[in-house]
Structure 1
C-alpha cells in the first residue's frame, strides 16, 4: 500500500529520540508519521480538513503545547489534539482537557497506549470530516438547482444516468414506484436537469384532489362557467407553460378526465371551462403511479390509449429494500438535514444501528427512513440512540431474507461505507474494520467492490 494513502499523524516534540520512537511505533501500526520539532512547523503542516490528528509535547521552547492546542482549536475545533505530559504535570493536563484536548499521555508511555489513543482519535476525526462533508453537500444542494438523487448502488447509478438522458429530450415521462420511494423528488430532479428548469414546476396529487374541482384546477375556467365562477381562473396546465406538470397518483384520475388529458398530450393545447378558445401549451407531463397501469387498463380502471401515450418513457424507481447498501448513506443524509433544521447534533450511526437498518423491510421506503432519521435526531437521546427502540413496533422486519443474507448485506454495506469514508484507502479500511489485509481484499473481491471507484468519488466530492 502506498505511503501517501496512510492516515497522517503529526508528532511534535523538541526531543528527537521521542519523535523517532513514536514515529516508528505509529508507522508500524499503519499510520504516516510527520515529526516537526516545534509548534510553528506543526501549524505550517496543518492543511484545511487535515485527515489525521496531532500529538504534541506540552513543554517545548517557544510556543508550548497549550498554546499550540489553543491555536489549533481556533483554526479547526474538530481536530483531535493529544498532549504529552511529564511526571507531575497532571494539573496542566487537566487544564488542557478543559481547553479541548482529546486526551493526554504521561511519560513514559507504552507504544500500545499511543496507538490506542491515536486510533480512537483518528476515528473521531474521520466521523467529524464525514459530517462536515455532508453538511457541505447540503449547502451546495441548497445553492444548486434541483434535488439530489442519493445512492451508490448500481440501481441508483442506473436511475441517475437514465434521468440525465431523459432530461435532455422532450418526452413525457411515467415514473413507476411504490409509495414513499421519492417519485416527487425524482420528478423535480428531472425538471431541474432539463432546459425547462427556469420555468414553473407544478405538482398535482390526483388522488388528493376532490373530483368536483380537479377539472377546473387543471384546465381553468372562464367567469360564469359554472355557479361560483365569479372570475377567470388560470388552470395548472396553463400556469405551467414552458415548464413541467407532475401528475402524482395518476391512476386515481377520473376516467372522464383522462380523455381530456389524452387530448392535451396529443394536441398540446387546452380549453378553459366555459371557453371555446384553445390555449397553446409548451409543457412536459411527468406522471407517477404506484400501480401497474397496463393491468388497470385491462380491468377497465384506466384508459388504455392514455396508458400507451404515457408509456413512451417509463422510469422505474427501486424500493429501498432492493438497495439496502444505500441505507447508511441515506440515513446519515436525513439525520444531518434534521440536525441542521433543529439545531441539534446528528450523532454517527454505529454498527448496531447499521444492522437495524439492514434488517428492516422498509414498507414505507425512503419516507419511512427519513422519518426514522428525524426521530433519531429529535428523540434519540431519550433512547440512548439505540435505533432498534426507535423503529416503529420494535420489529426488525427481516422479511424473506435469511440470516446469512442479512449478514452478507450488513458486511458489504460496512465495507462499502468504510471505503467511501476513507476515500478508497484500503489500509485505512483494514484498520477501521479490524481486518487483515488479505481478508479485506478477499471480501472486496467477493462483493465486487473496487477501491479505485471510491477514490474517484472521494476526489469528486
Structure 2
C-alpha cells in the first residue's frame, strides 16, 4: 500500500487518522507541523498523498501547501478545515489542494476522497508513462521508414497525403512486415504528434478483458472492479489509437467500436454516461478483412468505416532491394548495445540474406541481425538460413507451392490473348475476372492434392473453413 503523510498539530486527530489508515492497509507518517513535513520530503520521503491541516502554529497550512507545491507540483494534498471556513477551503483549492475534508469527518468520507486521489494518480501515472513515447516519436521521426523500394515509396507518399487528415486507415499485410511502423509514421507526420500514440494488440488480450482495456470500467462493474479505471481510448484522447489484429475483435466489441467511429463517444463498462473523445483510429490485420466481412466473420459496416484509406504493406520477399538498408539500420541500432563485437555484415552473409525469402519478414530479419551481433557466429547463421532455403526449395513440389504457379498462369491467361472475351472490359473488370479465375484454379488444385478434404484445403490455403465454403459456392466448385 502507499505511504500517506499526515501534517496536523492536534495529537488526537493524528492518532485517529493513523489508526484508521493503518487498519485500511496504508503506511502512515504523522508529524505535528509543516516544517517537519517538508523536511521529511527533502530527506527522501515520497508519499502518495499528504493530509494537511490548515490551522497550525509555526507555519500555517497555506504556507505549507505552497512549499509542498514548490517541492512537487504533482503531489496530491487533501486539506482539513473547520466547519465555518468555506473561504479558507476555496483559497486552498486555488493554491493547488486536490480536495478537502471538514472536521469532524467520518472514516468513510476520508476513504471516498482517497479513492478519488488514487484513481486520478493511477490515470496520471499511466498517461505519464505513455507520454514518454511522444518525445521518442518526435526524435525518431525520420527513422521510422526505409523506402528504397517503389511500393514502399508509394506508401510513404500516401502517408504524406493522409497524415494531417483524421480519416481512419486500415493497414493490411503479413505478420512482421511493418504495419506498426506504417501506423507510427502516420502519427509522427500528423498534427497529433504532440499527443499520445496508444497501441492495443487485440489478439494479445483475452476477449473478456478487451472491452475494459479499450473503454475502461466503472467501480463495481464486475467482481474485482474496486475503483474506476479509464480505458485506452481515454488515454488516446487528442492523439492516435492503433488497433493491431483488429480482426480478432468480438462482434459486440465491433459494434461498440463502430459507435465510437460514428459518434466519437462511448461509455465505460458498467457506466451510463457517454464520454466524448477526439481520437484518430488506425487499424491493422494480417487477414483479408474484406473477405471476412463478405462471409460474415466481420461486421461489414465496420469494415467500410475502417476502410476509408487502405494501405497494403508488401512482404519483405517482394522488396529485396530494402534488405541491405534494413540490415544496416539494425546493425547501427543494436551493435553498440551488444558490445561492438562485429565490424560489419560480411558480403557473403548479405548475399545469403538476399537469397532467403524471409517468411517472418522484417521482424525475422531484425532477430537474425541481433543474433549475429550477439554471438558473432557467421557460420551458424549461414547454416541456419541455408537449411531454411533448402527446405523452401523442397516445399516447391508441395500443395502450398500451387498458389504461385496457378496464380501466374491464371492471371496471364485471360489477359494475354488479344482476341479473348476480356478485351474491352476495362482494367478493373479484367483484373477482377483474372483474380476470380486464379482463386478458382488454386482451390481446385489444392482440393485435389488433399483428396478433397475441405479442412486440409483451408489449412493449406491459410483461410478459415467458412471462407473456403464461401469461395467454393462463389466459384461453383
Shorter chain as normaliser: what TM range?
Answer: 0.5 to 0.7
Q: Which residue of 2 aligns with 1:226?
A: 222
Q: Which residue of 1 aligns with 2:59?
A: none
Q: Which residue of 1 aligns with 2:362?
A: 366
Q: Which residue of 2 aligns with 1:300?
A: 296
Q: Which residue of 1 aligns with 2:338?
A: 342
User: Are the counterparts in 2 of residues 177 and 316 from structure 1 also a CA contact under 8 Å?
Assistant: yes
1:388 aligns with 2:348: no
Equivalent position to 1:353, from 349, 352, 365: 349
> In structure 2, do the counterparts of structure 1 residues 169 and 274 end up closer, same or farther at CA, with 3 Å as the change threshold?
same
1:283 aligns with 2:279: yes
* TM-score, scaled to structure 2: 0.52
Equivalent position to 2:239, from 231, 238, 243: 243
- Once residues 326 and 148 of structure 1 are traced to their aligned partners in structure 2, the CA distance between those partners, rounded to angstroms, is 14
- Once residues 264 and 203 of structure 2 are traced to their aligned partners in structure 1, the CA distance between those partners, rounded to angstroms, is 24
Q: Which residue of 1 aligns with 2:171?
A: 175
User: Are the counterparts in 2 of residues 271 and 278 from structure 1 also a CA contact under 8 Å?
Assistant: yes
> In structure 2, do the counterparts of structure 1 residues 178 and 263 end up closer, same or farther at CA, with 3 Å as the change threshold?
same
258-267 or 347-356, larger mean C-alpha shift: 347-356
> In structure 2, do the counterparts of structure 1 residues 258 and 205 end up closer, same or farther at CA, with 3 Å as the change threshold?
same
Give the 5 Å matches for 1:40-55. Answer: none
Give the 5 Å matches for 1:45-444. Answer: 143-145=139-141, 147-380=143-376, 382-383=377-378, 387-391=381-385, 393-395=387-389, 397=392
Say which SS state the counterpart of residue 336 (structure 2) adopts.
Answer: helix
Say which SS state the counterpart of residue 197 (structure 1) adopts.
Answer: coil
Cα deviation, 1:419-441, whole Å, max 9, x if unaligned, reads xxxxxxxxxxxxxxxxxxxxxxx
- Once residues 176 and 346 of structure 1 are traced to their aligned partners in structure 2, the CA distance between those partners, rounded to angstroms, is 35
Cα deviation, 1:145-189, whole Å, max 9, x if unaligned, reads 474201311112111111111112111111011000011121111
Larger radius of gyration: 2
User: Are the counterparts in 2 of residues 147 and 188 from structure 1 also a CA contact under 8 Å?
Assistant: no
- Once residues 325 and 207 of structure 2 are traced to their aligned partners in structure 1, the CA distance between those partners, rounded to angstroms, is 40
User: Are the counterparts in 1 of residues 147 and 156 from structure 2 also a CA contact under 8 Å?
Assistant: no
User: Are the counterparts in 2 of residues 372 and 390 from structure 1 also a CA contact under 8 Å?
Assistant: no
Q: Could you say which structure has the greater relative contact order, defined with CA pairs below 8 angstroms and 6 or more residues apart? A: 1
User: Are the counterparts in 2 of residues 237 and 245 from structure 1 also a CA contact under 8 Å?
Assistant: yes
Q: How far off is 1:392 after superposition?
A: 7.6
User: Are the counterparts in 2 of residues 147 and 185 from structure 1 also a CA contact under 8 Å?
Assistant: no
- Once residues 236 and 177 of structure 2 are traced to their aligned partners in structure 1, the CA distance between those partners, rounded to angstroms, is 25
* Structure 2, unaligned runs of 5 or more: 1-135, 397-477
Cα deviation, 1:237-285, whole Å, max 9, x if unaligned, reads 1111000110000001111110000000000011112222111110000
Say which SS state the counterpart of residue 369 (structure 2) adopts.
Answer: helix
Q: How far off is 1:302 after superposition?
A: 0.5
Say which SS state the counterpart of residue 340 (structure 1) adopts.
Answer: coil
Give me the CA root mean square deviation: 2.1
- Once residues 279 and 163 of structure 2 are traced to their aligned partners in structure 1, the CA distance between those partners, rounded to angstroms, is 13
Say which SS state the counterpart of residue 247 (structure 1) adopts.
Answer: strand
User: Are the counterparts in 1 of residues 138 and 193 from structure 2 also a CA contact under 8 Å?
Assistant: no
Show structure 1 runs of 4+ deviating over 6 A.
none
- Once residues 143 and 205 of structure 1 are traced to their aligned partners in structure 2, the CA distance between those partners, rounded to angstroms, is 24
* TM-score, scaled to structure 1: 0.53
Equivalent pairs counted in the alignment come to 259
User: Are the counterparts in 1 of residues 137 and 188 from structure 2 also a CA contact under 8 Å?
Assistant: no
Say which SS state the counterpart of residue 210 (structure 2) adopts.
Answer: helix
- Once residues 251 and 142 of structure 1 are traced to their aligned partners in structure 2, the CA distance between those partners, rounded to angstroms, is 30
- Once residues 330 and 178 of structure 1 are traced to their aligned partners in structure 2, the CA distance between those partners, rounded to angstroms, is 18
- Once residues 391 and 195 of structure 1 are traced to their aligned partners in structure 2, the CA distance between those partners, rounded to angstroms, is 43
- Once residues 315 and 337 of structure 2 are traced to their aligned partners in structure 1, the CA distance between those partners, rounded to angstroms, is 27
Cα deviation, 1:24-43, whole Å, max 9, x if unaligned, reads xxxxxxxxxxxxxxxxxxxx
- Once residues 289 and 141 of structure 2 are traced to their aligned partners in structure 1, the CA distance between those partners, rounded to angstroms, is 32
